[in-house]
Amino acid sequence: MTSPALAADDFPAALMEAARLTDMVLGKLLAVPEGPEARVVEAMRYSALAPGKRLRPFLALASAQLFSVARRSALQAAVAVELVHAYSLVHDDLPAMDNSDLRRGRPTCHKQFDDATAVLAGDGLLTYAFEVLAQPDTHGDPAVRCELVAALAQAAGAAGMVGGQMIDLLAENDPTLDIGAITRLQRLKTGALIALSCEAGAILGKAGAEQRLALRGYAHDLGLAFQIADDLLDIEGSAAETGKPVGSDAAAGKATFVSILGVERARAQAAHLVRQAVSHLDLFEKKADLLRQAAHFVINRRA
C-alpha cells in the first residue's frame, strides 16, 4: 500500500496538500448534472468547495498515514468527513438556526441561493458522504466500509453532532449551564466529527485497540482545544480573518468556555489540552509528528 504523501516535517505544507487533494476529489464528485436538479448540486459545490481549512480531511489523512493506508482510501474518508462538515455549516447558518449571512468569507448558502435550496444542499452533502464511504475505492474489505459508515453515522447523528446542536439551541440564554455541561455539548457538537476524522484512519488501517485508544484520547483533547480556540476567536478575531461573523456567541447570550472561564483561563486550558493531546501520541513515536503539529496549530490559528 502507498502512503498519503503529506510532508511529515512541514505542517503548513501538509495542511495545504491535504486541502488540495480534498478539493480535487470534491470537485470531481460534485460535477454539476444536466437538468433542473443542477441547482442543488451547484449549491453543494458552492458550500463544499468554499475556502476552509480542511482540518478534518487533514486529520483523516494524517491518521491514515500512521497505518500506511493507501492514499486513495484515505482520501475517500477525508472527503466524506468534509462533506458532513460542509452540510453542518450550511444547516447551522440557516435562519432557523444561527441565521448567519457570512461563511468562509462568502455569503452563506441560503443567502447565495435560497432557504429551501440550502436545506436540500445540506441533505445532499450529508447523504453523499455515506455514498462515498460505501464505494469500493474506500477499502477492499466491505466490513471496513461498513465500520466507517457506522462510525460516521454515529458521529454525525443524535449521539454526536446533531445531538450537540440540539443541546446548543436549547442552551441559549440558559444561565445554569456549567463547565461540565458545555464540555459535553461541545464534545458532541464539534468533537465527535473531529474524533471520527482521526478514527477513520485507524479503521482503514485496521489498527489495534491500543492504537485506537491513543488516537481517541488525542482527538478528544484536540476537539475541546479546537472549540476553546473557536470561542476565543469569536471574541478576539475579526470577520476578515475568520470569514464569519464574530461576537455572535455573546450577542446570542450563549455560555461558552470563555464566558465561564474568562479569556486567560480559557487560553491556559486550551494549552493544557494540547499538551495532553500530544502526550497520547507517544506510542506512535516520530510517525505522529504531523498530528502533534496539528494540535499546536489548532490553538494558534486565526481563522
Binding residues (CB under 6 A) for ligand GRG: these are 52-53, 55, 85, 88-89, 91-92, 104, 161-162, 165, 189-190, 230
Contact, 136 vs 70, CB < 8 A?
no
Q: Between 106 and 287, name the residue whose CB sits nearer to ligand GRG.
A: 106
Q: Between 164 and 205, name the residue whose CB sits nearer to ligand GRG.
A: 164
Q: How far is the CB of 243 from ligand GRG (least distance, A)?
A: 7
Q: Between 17 and 70, name the residue whose CB sits nearer to ligand GRG.
A: 17
Give the separation between CA 282 and CA 268, rounded to whole angstroms. Answer: 22
Give the separation between CA 162 and CA 159, rounded to whole angstroms. Answer: 7
Give the separation between CA 251 and CA 42, rounded to whole angstroms. Answer: 32
Count of Cβ atoms closer than 10 Å to residue 249 Cβ: 17
Q: How far is the CB of 147 from ligand GRG (least distance, A)?
A: 22
Q: How far is the CB of 61 from ligand GRG (least distance, A)?
A: 15
Contact, 51 vs 243, CB < 8 A?
yes
Q: Between 211 and 242, name the residue whose CB sits nearer to ligand GRG.
A: 242
Q: Which residues contact 208 (CB under 8 A, 6 or more apart)?
A: none
Contact, 147 vs 203, CB < 8 A?
yes
Q: Between 160 and 205, name the residue whose CB sits nearer to ligand GRG.
A: 160
Q: How far is the CB of 131 from ligand GRG (least distance, A)?
A: 19
Q: Between 104 and 220, name the residue whose CB sits nearer to ligand GRG.
A: 104
| SS3 call for 102 | strand
Give the separation between CA 140 and CA 7, rounded to whole angstroms. Answer: 26
| SS3 call for 36 | coil
Q: How far is the CB of 136 from ligand GRG (least distance, A)?
A: 28
What is the length of the chain? 303
Q: How far is the CB of 65 from ligand GRG (least distance, A)?
A: 20
Q: How far is the CB of 272 from ligand GRG (least distance, A)?
A: 20
Q: Please name which of 245, 246, 298, 242 lies closest in space to residue 274, comparing C-alpha atoms.
A: 298
Q: Between 129 and 207, name the residue whose CB sits nearer to ligand GRG.
A: 129
